[in-house]
Amino acid sequence: MKLWFGYSSEHSSNLVMIGRFKEADKASKAKEIIELLTEQVIADERAGFIKIGEGADRYTDDMLNLLQKVKVHSIGPAELEQFAYDVTIKVKNNELVLTTEETDVSAFLKVLIDNGARVEVYSAHDYPETDHGRGK
């Protein structure tokens, strides 16, 4: 179960982020890294080490070890809470498609870029003809 932490707004972004990789296994690896980071953020939050919405200023030891293990060195402590957001991730061949109602997605972008993706980001509200928006 994913929990959504944040506040409401009048307009959701219906954001789509597509990472295109040279090899399909890189897309699967990026998805796995995002899942591992998500699990660790949720564990850190449940243990009381971080509070979603307060912008952490340091890594937990477990998170620092995980970031080193997965070779992601560009995500700052305050960005980690993005992994607690409600996102949908699908991998098809060499593409990873992430959809969310959030606009704060720099941590996901960094995981994709650190793993060799070419990235496209847009609001499906503005491009309804695409097949990547939620519900399609």
pLDDT tens for residues 84-112?
Answer: 989 999 999 999 999 999 889 999 999 99
* Domain coordinates in residue numbering, the chain: 15-123
Alpha-carbon distances, residue 28 vs 21, 23, 112, 127 (angstroms): 10, 9, 11, 26
- Quick one: pLDDT at residue 132? 63
Could you tell me the pTM of the whole model? 0.84
Q: Is 131 exposed, middle or buried (0-12, 13-18, 19+ CB in 10 A)?
A: exposed
